[in-house]
Structure 1
Amino acid sequence: MLFTTNIEQNYKTLLSNLSSGKSTISETLIDLTETHLMEMLLPSFRYTGKELLVGEGDGILPGDVTGQLVLNRELGEKLLDEARRRNTKIDLIYSTPYGDLEDFRLIQSIRGFFTNQKGRTTFCPVQASCEGIPSIVGVNCTYIEEQDQMTYKYFFKDGSYIEIEQPIRKVYFSIYGNTIEILEGQFLSMSGRHGRIYKGELLVEEPLIAKVYKLLTQCYLEAIEMVGPLKAHTCIVETNTFQQNKQWLIDSIQSEEFQLFQELVHHAQDVTDLEVFATAHTTKGMVQTLLYASHISIDDDNRVVIKVREDKYALGLLRDERMWNDPEAIDLMRLIFLGPDVVGKHFNKFKNQYVEIFSNLLYQTFKVGVGKIAVIRLLCMPFKMIFTEKFDVKRFSQKFDLDEKAVRNRVNVLTNETETYHGCRGVRVTVQREDICELWCEGLLKAAKRANDEGIKTQIQILLSMVTFPQEVEMFIEVFERKIREMIGTKCDWIRGISVMIETSGAFHLIEDILDLKGKNYLLNGALFGGNDFTAACLNMNRTDSANSIIPSYVQLGIMNRSPFQTINTQIVGKAIVTSLRRIRNLRRINNRDYLIGLGGEIAGDWESVQWLTRHAAPLGLNYVSTPPERILFSLFASAQASLVEF
């Protein structure tokens, strides 16, 4: 174990000391702070002292961005579609007090997101942070929409613009006793790092390391389109993005700064006691993850050489509901949940379409490689997020020639829940609808088989969510093994086993009973702690409501240091995790199974939480945390540092 006194230094000084031999690589790793990483990996504003601060809140995902304010989802989608038609891009900052499944498509393409809702784990903030979008919650603002129309200009990256006549929508920010009005379409600059929003466009500076990874990610995606996923790494220099940035990329990849940073990443991967996997659901997300686990260099012919360290990365959590962002695909999902009694004679046709779309979406994530493992979670979207308050039953019924009354009645049954996230989702759906369970298994098996048949090693681990009773798991295993026999016929060596999420009180109390289950060919051999829902279960707090009604007062009174949905509550939640791990370790001694144990959610990307987990949970069998690609390096350095330092 190493000991150090962490004296704050500029990250360039740390790298210089490493280069000159004044510090060892372990000493440098120990002295790196989260602030250093932000300086290396995140864009930041160049402040002049003349900025007009209009709003403040709680920053979730760091990063400084500018864009035009959009307050309406349909408008945002229209602008993105127009940008694609013009073969350019547009920078948008989206804000809404609420959100649902239909926001996915817009959120994936915006620059920043903010809301007046205080809950860090409410729907849109979670989706935005998972997409790597700088986000701020708890902004002191109100939303206004008027009937009067105005014409607004929206500017594209190529210098062109579009004029749109639309209702007047605006945000009123309240700050330091002042009220500031910002109209939709005006430029804002927001700092996810500091939780601040400024009026107008601020100059953004992008660090060298961040820009290298961003450009290489784009090159890799273009190369996939050119030559396919297996050969993409060999054709980086042939892509348009590389050619447009050729000399800068060659110089930057060869720079001492980038090469030393890679050495630090590789050392962190080698010494950490707690691995860091990706929470991802797109090709781009897995490319980013792959690049972080690669040694990148320039050869004598000025070609980019990418040597992937296959055993140093993995897909730790794929949440399949995050992949459904196309409006037509979302409607297809709705048809499946409505069921054959409502949909009628065309239900089988829609089932086949669902499997085809689902399997292709999964394959898009698998196709660049998933590393050591791919943990795929059973669908976990609450019905209220699929059939939202704005869901137009009449339009939907007419579109698919369905009985409107039957659709309305079924929707009312599905959405008649007051507790959104502890309601009917995950295995609670599949035990009641075996046909949905079959469709999910079929789509997953089809995608994994396709990837493996194409030479893309894809070992999968099934993850069941909302498990409370052992019987729920037994019912899934029966369906899963039956679908394997029907589709493949034999036991698959690319299926590692089945995991359950530990996120309910039942799963915690019956952990031995659940994890000792097995089918004819497959075992329960894994678990993943759901950072948000397990915290909610342990503390008996609604993760949305408590952000307003409980947490602020408890932090002020000193009962909690921070929000338990931001940083792990070690007093109760941490203790429950440690207790669970000890029980799993005892079970392992009895049944001799190799359990893969992870933790997901927002706390998996929190520096302080990861360090605590490395010291207290990893020695008891916690194998990994899973976090979005944008937080992987933060969690990795936090875990490696905790592995090296003795406190």
Structure 2
Amino acid sequence: MSEQKRVYRFGTDAQGNDVTEGGASMKFALGGKGANLAEMCRIGLPVPGGFTITCQTCVEYSGAGNVWPEGTLDEIDAATRDLEHRQGKSLGDPHDPLLVSVRSGAPFSMPGMMDTVLNLGLNDDSVQGLIEQTKNPHFAWDSYRRFIQMFSNVVLGIDSDYFENALTEKRMVAGVKSDSELTAEQLKELVCEFREIAAEHISADEHPELVIEGKAVFPTDPELQLKLAIEAVFGSWMNERACIYRKANGISDDLGTAVNVQVMVYGNKGETSATGVAFTRNPADGTREFYGDFLIDAQGEDVVAGIRNTEPISDLKIKPVFAQAGEQLESIFGILENHYRDMCDIEFTIEQGKLYMLQTRVGKRTASAALKIAIDMVGEGLISREEAVSRIDPAQLDQLLHPQFDTGSDIEVLARGLNASPGAAVGAIVFSSEDAVAAADEGRPVILVRWETNPDDLKGMVAAEGILTSHGGKTSHAAVIARGMGAPCVCGVESFSIDAANKEVRVDGADIVLHEGDIISIDGTSGIVVLGAVDLVSPELTGDLETILGWADTIRMDSSKGTPNRVRVNADNPADAKLALEFGAEAIGLCRTEHMFLGDRKNIIQSFILTDDEQVKAKALEDLLRVQTDDFLQMFRTMDGRDVVVRLIDPPLHEFLDDPRELEVAIAKREVEGAPADELEALRKRLRDIDGMVESNPMLGLRGVRLSIVYPDLPLMQVRAIATAAARLKRDEGLNPHPEVLVPLVAIAQEHVQTRAVIERVVAEVAEEFGIRLDIPVGTMFELPRACMVADAIAEHSDFFSFGTNDLTQTTFGFSRDDAEAKFIPIYLHKKILESNPFETIDDVVVELVKMAVDKSRATKDGLMCGVCGEHGGDPASIMKLFNVAGVDYVSCSPYRVPVARLAAAQAKLEAEQGFSTQDK
């Protein structure tokens, strides 16, 4: 017998005494659902009893090839006997049966991604006991047919369509429209049909235990039903939709899911019973109101599946039969919010007037709702400003930077639905997840249009620009998943009659038929649908977002609690620089000068590279000096008084040249057309010159500082343009430009020393020419592991360090970013060779290299400014490592990531100084 405890009880004993083991702090053992069920029991809420099998059991079971850890089945059996004793009922009892649900519950919320089995324990004998106890044969037989269908699908892997088709045929023969109109006798007949369907499709190879005398049968032994259901829930941890969801939300595959076995309570016992999903505040906009949906005479799955249109939770109290339960539920809302100090997501059932709590968790919400709730709770005294800042997921801020409908657009509303997830999207209609994925692969924006989504649609939901459903409420699958992803979503568009098979939509009342490929626009903020494309605009940083970011800036810049965590921007033109200032960037951490050579200036740089004529070279440099000086004038004017780190030309020169293969095609075409011989010879010479510059490994070839040494005229021109622009603004306009020159791809200290000497000479010449003092710092860009090893020697001659972690990752791993991300990194992630893409979230070894260089530099030159530029500078997980492990002074990222970086930088300061951690996903 294993000594590790694998099963934990929750609920009360037969005398009403609490026997709960565990609580909210044990979510990594009990999963979020199990931990919160235990917590609700501890604070005295009405929770049906049960037990939880730990996440660690799932991991061991799966890791051993679906073999149970020693002693676990005995522990589950003991917990089952204990639950029977507590309830005074037993599984399979023909007179008063115990029926249970079997539900998943991972440490982090994964709504709808894994499997559930309800009504477990029913068979031909126990259904008679259920009839005897409830005096309701219709309810009993309906529960039994639901159990067979759900068990067959979830546990036995049988397609639900077989059962749905049989159910539809039964309704047609009976001449009724809804399942509830079928008689008890008809439901009993359906149970027999369902068992036959199941037996016909059971795989004997996968389930040999269900083969009796050579024939597969649906299991009737409740103990076997329970064992198979638990195994199926464990197995659902690795189903495709769960894996996709975890990847999209940064959840580790190694956590496993717990399994909760809980006494069934029924919301489908007639008109005095109901089931629902609720939030203690509005998860779409954060308003303090009771928000959610419920269904009368239904089971919980019916609410989220969108099978029937729900009623708003606010109507619960005005229905006399539910008034008392509604008052109690409202009171529990307050208890849970005060206990968890956050907005809570709740599942409940009312069985013949009595309220039961089936689940609570910190509720998922949109970015705008997260901001409002955090700010309101600070005002209510529930949390501090520091807690408010720590609770916002930085990545979620992207939702607020997504486009909205341009208010100046003249739009005609085609249809209306529920504003399920904010933001706007424009795209072509597709009717399946497969088509959405295919369109995304081709770069075509689409709107996924469905009757209602289900967990298998996750791939398409991720791929689509937006989601539209004709059924389901604000707590339906589509709404919950879209809000979590930050995707615009409109649900419950009842005027859309969707025919997915024929790929068309009939719009009731509009005499319009939409087909696959037609363009529509949706606004998930207001819940409207528009035919055709609507102009979209990006929002501004105002209101709640401005408040939270203001608090974040105060926290990250608090010098009394350590070095400020600064945020800069990567910007190569005045427009990006202006936008970055609006988004709160403090300075430019990287201006890539080579980007200034593109467009109509490409011919100038090409003429410099390819000519042997010194006069042509000189003219090209003169032209480049003029345009680069103008560029820097605008950049420095925009950033007046702020640092602008300008990197000298970095990429290999061949990147500015024509594609030699395209040039070969052009030559062949001109030959066919009979072009003059001198033209053809000029083209062939150009091709020879380009081929002569080809390198076997250009990313490790003649680039960066090596260009400054081999072709000094080009970087000299750039330094002169930088210094001239600064001098002109300082002398003629009275401005205060702060340019800094960055030397890229240094590996050897002498590379920096010699290049710096040339830079200082040019700056001195320009200063003398303008008759002013110019102080332009010269820094080093670290992109190579060797540079990190000799950072102390480089620091003696450098004014600041900037780490190009994109290239540092390439050279540390020996990965080509352009090739690796397309060809083998996805395979590495799938095979668990890599936990995450190192070009998205910085690798720990790369962090150690940065830390080594920072430590070495400051041992040589105390207080040397060190920053990071590139993609990692805008990734929240990387930002945490860079500030708290590597010890850098700033991160620099693209303009639209600046708000994300500001918040993440504040959270890094909180985690380092006060022990706060960001809110759970």
TM-score (norm 1): 0.61
Q: Which residue of 2 aligns with 1:32?
A: 392
Q: Is the 8 A contact 1:427 1:464 kept in 2?
A: yes
What is the CA-CA distance between 1:552 and the residue it aligns to?
Answer: 2.3
Alignment partner for residue 606 of structure 2, among 334, 351, 355? 334
Deviations 1:575-605 (Å, cap 9, x if unpaired)? 21222222122222xxx5x422111111111
Q: Which residue of 2 aligns with 1:486?
A: 765
**Alignment: residue pair count:** 451
Distance in 2, matches of 1:504 and 1:361, equals 29
Q: Which residue of 2 aligns with 1:556?
A: 830
What is the CA-CA distance between 1:330 and the residue it aligns to?
Answer: 1.1
Q: How does 1:46-195 map to 2 (within 5 A)?
A: 66=426, 141=441, 189=465
Distance in 2, matches of 1:63 and 1:627, equals 24
Q: Which residue of 2 aligns with 1:264?
A: 551
| Alignment CA distance shift 1:215-1:284 (3 Å) | farther
Q: Is the 8 A contact 1:268 1:636 kept in 2?
A: no
Q: Which residue of 2 aligns with 1:41?
A: 401
Q: Which residue of 1 aligns with 2:896?
A: 630
The percentage of counterpart residues that share the same residue type is: 20
What is the CA-CA distance between 1:419 and the residue it aligns to?
Answer: 2.6
Alignment partner for residue 281 of structure 1, among 572, 582, 604? 572
Q: Bigger shift: 370-379 or 397-406?
A: 397-406
Q: Is the 8 A contact 1:286 1:370 kept in 2?
A: no
Q: How does 1:350-389 map to 2 (within 5 A)?
A: 350-389=620-659
Alignment partner for residue 602 of structure 1, among 866, 871, 874? 871
Distance in 2, matches of 1:137 and 1:477, equals 51
Q: Which residue of 2 aligns with 1:202?
A: 521
Distance in 2, matches of 1:137 and 1:493, equals 59
Q: Is the 8 A contact 1:499 1:528 kept in 2?
A: yes
What is the CA-CA distance between 1:262 and the residue it aligns to?
Answer: 5.4
Where 2:799 maps in the other structure, the secondary structure is strand
Alignment partner for residue 411 of structure 1, among 676, 686, 690? 690
What is the CA-CA distance between 1:644 and the residue it aligns to?
Answer: 1.1
Where 1:441 maps in the other structure, the secondary structure is helix
Where 1:408 maps in the other structure, the secondary structure is helix
Deviations 1:534-577 (Å, cap 9, x if unpaired)? 0011111111222244422332233321100000111x111212
| Alignment CA distance shift 1:292-1:26 (3 Å) | same
Is 1:640 the counterpart of 2:640? The answer is no
AA of the residue aligned to 1:270: M
Where 1:421 maps in the other structure, the secondary structure is helix
Is 1:466 the counterpart of 2:736? The answer is no
Structure 1: runs of 5 or more not aligned:
51-61, 70-135, 145-175, 181-187, 217-251, 294-311, 518-523
Q: Is the 8 A contact 2:404 2:536 kept in 1?
A: no
AA of the residue aligned to 2:550: E
AA of the residue aligned to 2:615: K
What is the CA-CA distance between 1:498 and the residue it aligns to?
Answer: 1.2
TM-score (norm 2): 0.44
What is the CA-CA distance between 1:189 and the residue it aligns to?
Answer: 4.6
What is the CA-CA distance between 1:479 and the residue it aligns to?
Answer: 1.9
Deviations 1:289-341 (Å, cap 9, x if unpaired)? 22234xxxxxxxxxxxxxxxxxx7111111112233322x11111112225x1
| Alignment CA distance shift 1:370-1:322 (3 Å) | farther
| Alignment CA distance shift 1:437-1:642 (3 Å) | closer
Where 2:521 maps in the other structure, the secondary structure is coil
What is the CA-CA distance between 1:458 and the residue it aligns to?
Answer: 1.5
What is the CA-CA distance between 1:472 and the residue it aligns to?
Answer: 2.2
What is the CA-CA distance between 1:36 and the residue it aligns to?
Answer: 4.3
Is 1:441 the counterpart of 2:719? The answer is yes
AA of the residue aligned to 1:279: N
Distance in 2, matches of 1:34 and 1:47, equals 35
Distance in 1, matches of 2:780 and 2:767, equals 24
AA of the residue aligned to 1:434: P
Structure 2: runs of 5 or more not aligned:
1-339, 343-361, 406-412, 430-435, 445-455, 468-481, 490-515, 527-534
| Alignment CA distance shift 1:15-1:500 (3 Å) | same
Distance in 2, matches of 1:137 and 1:424, equals 40
Distance in 2, matches of 1:402 and 1:265, equals 63
Q: Is the 8 A contact 1:459 1:494 kept in 2?
A: no
Task: State which structure, 1 or 2, has the greater radius of gyration over its C-alpha atoms.
Answer: 2
| Alignment CA distance shift 1:631-1:259 (3 Å) | closer
Distance in 2, matches of 1:579 and 1:63, equals 43
Q: Bigger shift: 36-45 or 467-476?
A: 36-45
Deviations 1:443-483 (Å, cap 9, x if unpaired)? 11112222323233211221111112223223322321221
Q: Which residue of 2 aligns with 1:425?
A: 703
Where 2:654 maps in the other structure, the secondary structure is helix
| Alignment CA distance shift 1:567-1:407 (3 Å) | same
Where 1:598 maps in the other structure, the secondary structure is strand
Alignment partner for residue 613 of structure 1, among 868, 878, 882? 882
Q: Which residue of 2 aligns with 1:97?
A: none
AA of the residue aligned to 1:38: D
AA of the residue aligned to 1:500: T
Q: Is the 8 A contact 1:189 1:202 kept in 2?
A: no
Where 1:417 maps in the other structure, the secondary structure is coil
Distance in 1, matches of 2:616 and 2:396, equals 57
Distance in 2, matches of 1:409 and 1:190, equals 49
